[in-house]
Amino acid sequence: MPRSYASAVLNATADEVWAYLRDFGNLADWMPGMQAGVIEDGGPGDRVGCVRRVWATGDSVFRERLAGLDDAGRSYWYQILEAPLPIRDARAHLRVAPVTGTGQAFVEWWGEFSADPGDEEAMDKTLSHGIYATGLDALARRFARRPGRT
């Protein structure tokens, strides 16, 4: 099962970044290429079991279920229920940790999936670079623009 991975250091504390990211329903607010998103039953975005639906450019739909949330560990993990990608049995994790020497936040985003052998390499690159790294770059820009930050 391939494992796609990306990480970044953000110019904010781990607690600040986690306070923002722990809302599973706000993906469309920070992820490039996402037009809108909702929690399907209208409940809170930090309730384990909730399903977020996000619409990407071109009306592609992603549906993902929050499988676990760990505030002490500043992480959550989720299952991808529906995606416009040739993947299956996909799950992903997002984790925020402090960089002790600088006070910044280290953010990791990774996932595992199954795909037909001919699609594995392309899907690994799509997830690692096109989704995870792109999203983390957007978060880095978001936190870099914050007043009082250098």
Looking up residue 114, the CATH number of its domain turns out to be 3.30.530.20
Flag whether 43 is in a domain: yes
Q: Which domain holds residue 105?
A: 3-144
Burial group, residue 61, by CB count within 10 angstroms (0-12, 13-18, 19+) = exposed
Cα–Cα dist 4/24, whole Å: 20
Residue 125 lies inside a defined structural domain of this protein: yes
Per-residue pLDDT, 150: 45
pLDDT at site 145: 58
Q: Which region, left, alpha or beta, applies to residue 89 given φ > 0 means left and ψ of -120 to 50 means alpha? A: left
Q: How confident is the model at residue 30 (pLDDT cuts 50, 70, 90)?
A: very high
Residue 149 lies in a domain: no
Task: Indicate whether 127 pLDDT > 90.
Answer: yes
For residue 64, being part of any structural domain is answered with yes
> Residue 19's pLDDT is what?
97
**Does a structural domain hold residue 150?**
no
pLDDT at residue 148 greater than cutoff 60: no
What's the number of domains the chain is made of? 1
Confidence label for 108 from pLDDT (cuts 50, 70 and 90)? very high
Model pTM score: 0.91
Query: What are the pLDDT digits (tens) for 53-70?
Result: 999 988 899 999 999 999
Please answer whether residues 72 and 100 qualify as being in contact, where contact means their C-beta atoms are separated by less than 8 angstroms. Answer: no
The Cα–Cα gap between 31 and 29 comes to: 6
